Amino acid sequence: MTNGSKPIAGVIGWPISHSRSPLMHNIWLKTYGINGTYVPVETAPEDLAHSINLLKDKGFRGVNVTVPHKEAVFDLVTAKDEAARTIGAVNTLLFEPAGLLKGLNTDAAGFVASLKGSAGVAWTQGPAVVLGAGGAARAIVYGLLEAGVQEVFVVNRTVSRAEVLARDLSGKSDHKGQWVKPHPWTSLGTLMKNCALLVNATSLGLEGGAPLEIDLDPLSPGALVTDIVYAPLETPLLREAKSKGHVVVDGLGMLIHQARFAFEAWFDILPDASPDIRAVLEADLKKSI
Ligand code: NAP
């Protein structure tokens, strides 16, 4: 806790010590003069429902939800926003008056907001290639459809998972005429030739983990490249894309923007994505890598 005042929001996960959410939210609480703190709440899967009830009783306004609870919490909420419903995962809980528990997904909007700063790059004007079909990829594909991208190709090691994602997200009422198509990894070279956006939404490239090994030679020269892995901040994918002249966006933007939208849901204030917040996160990343 940063100022000794009462916890009013937090992040629930297992484990939770890695979360950078407290860093951001506690700065915003202070900046906007809201009396309260944002705390990490370590919760094992079997304690999830109990822990959420406890936080509600303690007067929390809401919590972020992180690994491994984003899907499990989906079944515990009394209402969901459209994004959470379509994606099938909740990353933000809002304790509403009269005991209502609302589940939101701010990852999708957070991802799209992170790309909006990429002035001059027409990433909505052509197909997008998304690597991965896990929870983050589902949010990203939903966000891309919301942003008006017509065609999204989902490339995943386990093709059946990409097929499920495509079936769940394609052609929803608000996304008529937009398509999500599943592909095996072997199609990647062909798909990259004509795309406006390449997204790594797998966990490949994470510090200390398996590398993402793809050949960027076939990638359309104007394509924007983004990696939602942010540790390291400049992933090998981003480094190579930059060296080939592509505009690149790192994963910290998504982290910051999803947090802004959660804060807004709880406190009716949309915080600035100021350079200070980014600097604090970058400094923290440097400490831990
Ligand atoms: P997830 O549900 O576990 O999905 C992991 C994805 O990575 C799956 O598509 C999986 O493919 C793929 N993958 C894992 N190991 C692989 C390998 N060796 N070869 C090929 N594909 C592999 O995880 P998630 O929640 O979607 O998160 C994915 C990454 O995004 C994590 O690193 C997470 O930290 C990051 N993330 C960042 C933000 C942000 O704000 N920047 C937000 C959310 C998540 P299979 O389906 O074949 O297993």
- Is pLDDT at 113 greater than 70 in this prediction? yes
pLDDT at 171: 72
- The per-residue pLDDT for range 48-65, each reduced to its tens digit, is 999 999 999 999 999 999
Q: Can you spell out the DSSP letters for 148-177?
A: T-SEEEEE-SSHHHHHHHHHHHTT-GGGTT
- Is pLDDT at 1 greater than 60 in this prediction? no
Query: Of ligand 1's atoms, which has the minimum distance to the CA of residue 252?
Result: 41
CA of 120 relative to ligand 1 center, distance in Å: 29
CB 49 within 8 A of CB 57: no
Go through the chain and tell me how many residues it has: 289
230 within ligand 1 shell (Cβ under 6 A): yes
Q: Which residue lies with its CA nearest to atom 31 of ligand 1?
A: 203
What the block records as the tokens of 219 is: 């990638």
**For all residues of the chain together, what is the average pLDDT?**
94
- The per-residue pLDDT for range 207-257, each reduced to its tens digit, is 999 999 999 999 999 999 999 999 999 999 999 999 999 999 999 999 999
SS3 content of the chain, % helix, strand, coil (to 5): 40, 20, 40
In this prediction, residues 92-113 reach a mean pLDDT of 95
- Is pLDDT at 288 greater than 90 in this prediction? no
Q: Which residue lies with its CA nearest to atom 2 of ligand 1?
A: 134
161 within ligand 1 shell (Cβ under 6 A): yes
- Is pLDDT at 2 greater than 60 in this prediction? no
Strand partners, 92: 64, 104
pLDDT at 4: 59
- The per-residue pLDDT for range 154-180, each reduced to its tens digit, is 999 999 999 999 999 987 767 778 999
Residue position matching structure tokens 């989902």: 154
- Is pLDDT at 18 greater than 50 in this prediction? yes
Burial class (CB in 10 A: 0-12, 13-18, 19+), 203: middle
CB 258 within 8 A of CB 230: no
